[in-house]
Structure formats: C-alpha cells, structure tokens
Amino acid sequence: MTESNESLASIISNFDKLRLLVVGDLMADKYVYGSAERLSSEAAVPIVKVKKEEYRLGGAANVANNVRQLGATVLLCGVVGYDDAAHMFRKAVRDAGIESGGIFPSSDRSTTLKVRVVAMPYNQQIVRYDYESRKQLTENETPTVKRYIESNIDQINAILISDYDKGMLLGNTLPRFIIDLAREKNVPTIVSSKQRHFRLFTNATAVIPSYYDAQDFVHIVNGNFYTNITSIGEEIVKLLDCDAALVVREEQEIAVCTKDGRQKTLQIGAANNFNPAGVQDTVCGTFALALATGADYESAALLASRAMKVVLSKEGMATITIGELHE
C-alpha cells in the first residue's frame, strides 16, 4: 500500500484535537555527565568528575512525552513513591505539559529511577544503576487507579498501556478492567508489554511487541519458531485475540497484521542508528495517535515507521516532533 503525503498529512493534522490516556509503569531517567580522567586507587574503576545532571521521563512517561510532543493532550496514570525521585519526576511531567492528575503516591514502593553515568566528550556510558520496585498494586491502590480511568474514559480518544514489568499492571485485575471498559466505550486500546505479560492483554485493539518477544511467545505457546516477521504477527493476532499486531524489529523493520488478514511490512533504513532506547515508545505513541484519528492500521503503521526512522537518527532517549513526522 502506498499512502500519499496528503493523506498522511491529513491524519497528522488531527493529532492536536486528541486526548490520550497513557497507563503504565512510570520511570525517571537521570543522566550524570562528567569527565573520566583517571582510575580510582580503591578499585579498577574510573573516577568521574561530574559536570552536569539531567532528568528525563522514562517508561510510560516517555510514551506520554512522545504523544505530547506530537500535539495531543495527554493524561498520565501510574504510581510513584514518596521520595526525591518522585518530586523530580512530577516536575518533569509538568514541564512537558502532561496532565498529572492520575499519578498517585504509594508508601509501598520507591519511584523507579535509572541513573546513567556518562563520560564526556564521547558520551560513553560507564555504568547504570537502578532504584525500583516490582510490587503489585495494593488492594487500596487498584480501586484508586480504576476510578481515575473510569472518570476520564468518556473524554479520551484512545488508551495506551505501557507495561515495563515494574508491577503497575501485574495481575489480571487492572489490565482486564481497562480493556473491557474501553471495549464497552468503543475506545481503542493499544498495548506495549513484555513477553511474559502478553496474556494479560487479550482482546486489546492492538498490541505492539518487539520482534524477539513476539517470536519467543509464539514459540513457547505453540512450539512454532518463525523468523518471518509477518508470520509472527499473524500468530500474535490469533493467540491474543486482538484486532491488530504491530511487530517492531528495532533498526530494521516493522510489520502490521490484522484480524481480517491484512499485512504490511515496512523497512526502516535509518541513515544513522544511535542508541535505540525509547524507540518502541515513539512507535507506540505515533501508532496510537493515528488510530485515534480513525486511520486504518496500514496508515498508522506507515506513520510509526517514519517516526522510528527519525528517532533512530538521534542519540539517547529521544522524541519526535510534528515537523519531523511531516518530512
């Protein structure tokens, strides 16, 4: 299928009219930049003289940031701890223009924080250390999240579920509630999840797995080991009873497969492939926005492939703008 630039531009022009709800595992990313000039006398490790620190949105919050950068209104829902990282995270969310009324504090967990120490001037990551909790939501927290989603369902155009396996969506209760409510209200639900949680999201509108997660899942469930990306996508649609699957093979290709038998593979061909961190977040956000406008799956996949190509040409955790998507 070949889409005219005019047709795609028409889809993009409606992004700023949309309201999307992003539900999932919230993370903060901290980058510590400095110069590594000598080794420590205490151990064979470099001493980094810190020059600057940056805080960025990660996990489901990075998905929300991608959606916001493309012009839509975004509601973010998840849990954080009572700690300094939560304070920094909330500030970053506000600065990004994302609605934060669905971010709830929990005394039962720490805020997920990934700290990366990077040596300048070559941007060489020396070490990463994580603070995180993978606890399931408590009996008191789950109803609070449900009420927030239910109170906003009539004002949103799509729900994007971002599962990074940090506990927010652990168990069947919350995923089933979201998908069933969205089906009842005719709101599309787009899911990005880790392989071991795929079955929690059956009957979603669309799922967006990575190539290798999808390949492993199909092999585990029915014993078939496929290498063709569309064959994997077709099996995912059947096994998860979803309307469509968008399988993402980082740096190479994406394929969309639908329940009615349509399929399309798109090569990426990025000129410069930098660190692909956050690429799937960009793909998910763009695909969800296109579907929320009423676009068909092939057009949504084409826009997602464009977004993927752009973000692969950027260093680190990056987002995409409307202007870049038009190019």
* Per-chain mean pLDDT for the chain: 93
Q: Is residue 119 part of a domain?
A: no
Q: Which residue has the tokens 């940090």?
A: 166
Q: Is residue 196 part of a domain?
A: yes
Residue 237's pLDDT is what?
98
In tens, the pLDDT along 46-105 reads 999 999 999 999 999 999 999 999 999 999 999 999 999 999 999 999 999 999 999 999
Task: Report the relative pairing of strands 26-39 and 112-120 from DSSP bridges.
Answer: parallel
In this prediction, residue 203 carries a pLDDT of: 97
Examine residue 120 and state whether it is found in any structural domain, yes or no. no
Domain contains 239: yes
Structural domain boundaries enclosing 207: 5-27+58-109+134-326
Which letter, b or e, does each residue of 80-94 get, where b requires 16 or more Cβ atoms within 10 Å of its Cβ?
bbeeebbebbbebbe
Say yes or no to pLDDT of 1 above 60.
no
CATH code at 214?
Answer: 3.40.1190.20
Name the nearest CA neighbour of 138 among 129, 130, 146, 149.
Answer: 146
When pLDDT is averaged across residues 152-164 and rounded to a whole number, the result is 97
CA 37/CA 134 separation, integer angstroms: 37
Beta bridge partners of 127: 117
pLDDT tens digits, 279-291: 889 999 999 999 9
Residue 261 lies in a domain: yes
Is there a domain that residue 193 lies in? yes
Percent of the chain with pLDDT over 70: 95
| Whole-angstrom distance, CA of residue 202 vs CA of residue 292 | 20
**Exposure of 37 by Cβ count < 10 A (0-12 exposed, 13-18 middle, 19+ buried)?**
exposed
**pTM for the whole structure:** 0.93
Per-residue confidence at 246, pLDDT binned at 50, 70, 90? very high
Is 42's pLDDT higher than 90?
yes
pLDDT beyond 90 at 201: yes
What's the structural domain count of the chain? 1
Q: What is the pLDDT of residue 288?
A: 98
* Residues with active-site annotation: 281
Residue 41: inside a domain: no
